[in-house]
Amino acid sequence: MISAVILTLNEERNIVECIETLQPWCNDVVVYDSFSTDRTVELAKSAGARVFQRKFDNYAAQRNAALHEVDYPNDWVVMVDADERFDDKIGQIMTDAVGNPNYQDVQIFHLQRKDIFLGQWLKHGIGSGTWFGRLLKHQFVTVERDINEEYHCKGRKEYLTGERFLHYPFNNGVNWWISRHNRYSDMEAVRLSAEKAEKLQFKKLFSKDPAERRKHQKQLLYRLPGRPLLMFFVLYFLKLGFLDGKAGFHYAVLRSFYEYMIDLKIVESK
């Protein structure tokens, strides 16, 4: 069986549906809360989740604490955000994978997702071809990077196809998304200022590991001039975001603005 852990901060609008989507195939749901001031904890307990609380410092530390400081009845844990939905179909794929004898030495399974914006799937968005390490043997995995975290293990990694989990980043409205990404940009600016001092490893730009390749491609991207405009060009034209109609255009603008906030905060800190 599989346990699920959901990191939360003021997610009363999302938490019940998130938990209820997991329960048909997941026998243990943990909500790891950052001392929410709304009804998140109350609703999570009523929905049948186990609730733990820890003061938030950064995402890597919070996820590491959730993985290693909670007693789980299962070896496998799926990391879930409150604005994500893992339905029965992808639940079955994950359940089959952890029970497959050919995967006994696997420590991380990567999954793909569907980003939903303005009621439609952004088929050509920034996350359309991205793999996310979410299904973990929790005792063997550590999380690094304060934001846009990276999952590391010494064992085998695999990639599950057939279904994607759903991501609703705008469930709480555009204002909430902008406010959240304003906070994210603070953390990204600090992190990227440090990463720019590191030597770029060009060989890893073409790594066979999608997660490793994405990490180093992102490091290259953040060294390029005019990055916010470049981000819009990549999302809207190279990734064919224009095929997603108005939703694709608005999303490309929002993501580019996020990158602009990061760059501006890096300049401001100098």
For the chain, give the percent of residues with pLDDT over 70. Answer: 94
Q: Are 149 and 60 in contact (CB under 8 A)?
A: yes
Domain end call among 141, 167, 193:
167
The domain of 86 spans 2-167
- CB under 8 Å to 92, separation ≥6 — which residues? 25
Residue 198 has pLDDT above 80, yes or no: no
Asked whether residue 141 falls in the same domain as residue 51, the answer is yes
Average pLDDT over residues 231-251: 96
- Examine the pLDDT at 225 and tell me if it is beyond 80: no
Cβ atoms of 124 and 247 within 8 Å: the answer is: no
Residues 6+ apart with CB under 8 A from 85: 17, 18, 21, 165, 166, 168
CB atoms within 10 A of CB 96: 12
Q: Residues 126, 19: one domain?
A: yes
Cβ–Cβ under 8 Å, residues 59 and 80: no
Domain final residue, candidates 167, 195, 220: 167
pLDDT for 249 equals 98
Amino acid identity, residue 172?
N
Both 84 and 154 in one domain: the answer is: yes
Helix, strand, coil % in the chain, rounded to nearest 5: 45, 20, 35
| pLDDT at residue 41 tops 70 | yes
Q: Are residues 130 and 244 in the same domain?
A: no
pLDDT band at 196; cut points 50, 70, 90: low
Query: What is the pTM assigned to this prediction?
Result: 0.89
- Convert the pLDDT of each residue in 146-159 to its tens digit: 888 889 999 999 99
Per-residue model confidence as pLDDT tens digits over 7-21 = 999 999 999 999 999
Tokens representing residue 135 in the block: 């299904």
- The answer to whether residues 148 and 182 belong to one domain is no
Which CATH number fits the domain that encloses residue 15? 3.90.550.10
Provide, rounded to the nearest whole percent, the portion of the chain with pLDDT above 90. 78
Average pLDDT, the chain: 93
Residue 197: pLDDT band with limits 50, 70, 90: low
Domain total for the chain? 2
- How far from 78 is each of 24, 44, 86, 259, CA to CA, in Å? 14, 17, 10, 29
Query: Does residue 76 sit in the same domain as residue 161?
Result: yes
pLDDT at 14: 98
Give exposure, 181-194, as e/b (b: 16+ Cβ within 10 Å): beebbebbbbbbee
Query: Which residues in 9-83 belong to E strands, given as ranges?
Result: 28-33, 50-53, 76-81
Identify the pLDDT of residue 128: 82
Q: Which of 74, 67, 53, 97 is nearest to 3 (CA)?
A: 74
